[in-house]
Amino acid sequence: MDPIDQDTAYDVFSKQCPSRGTLEHVTGRWGALTLGALHDGTFRFNELRRRVDGVSEKMLSQTLHALERDGLVHREAQPTNPPRVEYRLTPLGREITERLMSLIHFVEGRMDGVLEARERYDSVTAGGR
């Protein structure tokens, strides 16, 4: 656990709390992968699209907007012609992404156990549970 005051005014378990929306931007399929990609540096839209395997142009665009609006991603348009637009994490985005990556790497590191559990589950289910 982080040494953070956990009695904040915000509570993702409450349906109305805005933190639930932000958590979804961070942990949603494309949000998590986009933050993870930006953890490695500053990228242009098409570079990001290649890194986030499987994302459509529309979904990546929506994802970046939501993360920018929440203050986690910074979008910078250089005054060139054509404009060069780059995305990078803000300091807040970086802090959140560190914790997200910790979770992602942990899950990746435990996948052997997860796949074994799935096999057990499926064999029991097939045998008439």
Residue 88: strand, helix, or coil: strand
Contacting residues for 124 by C-beta, under 8 A, at least 6 apart: none
* 52 vs 84 by CB, closer to a copy of itself: 52
- Give CA–CA dist 57/78, Å, rounded: 21
Contact pattern from residue 67 through residue 106 relative to a copy of itself, giving x for each residue in contact according to CB under 8 A and a dash for the rest: -xxxxx-------------------x--xx-xxxxxxxxx
- Asked if residue 61 binds a copy of itself (CB under 8 A), the reply is no
Q: How far is the CB of 70 from a copy of itself (least distance, A)?
A: 5
Burial (0-12, 13-18, 19+ Cβ within 10 Å), 20: middle
- Asked if residue 32 binds a copy of itself (CB under 8 A), the reply is yes
- Give CA–CA dist 7/82, Å, rounded: 48
Interface ranges with a copy of itself (CB under 8 A): 1-2, 4-6, 8-15, 18-20, 22-24, 26-29, 32-33, 36-37, 51-54, 68-72, 92, 95-96, 98-111, 113-118, 120-122
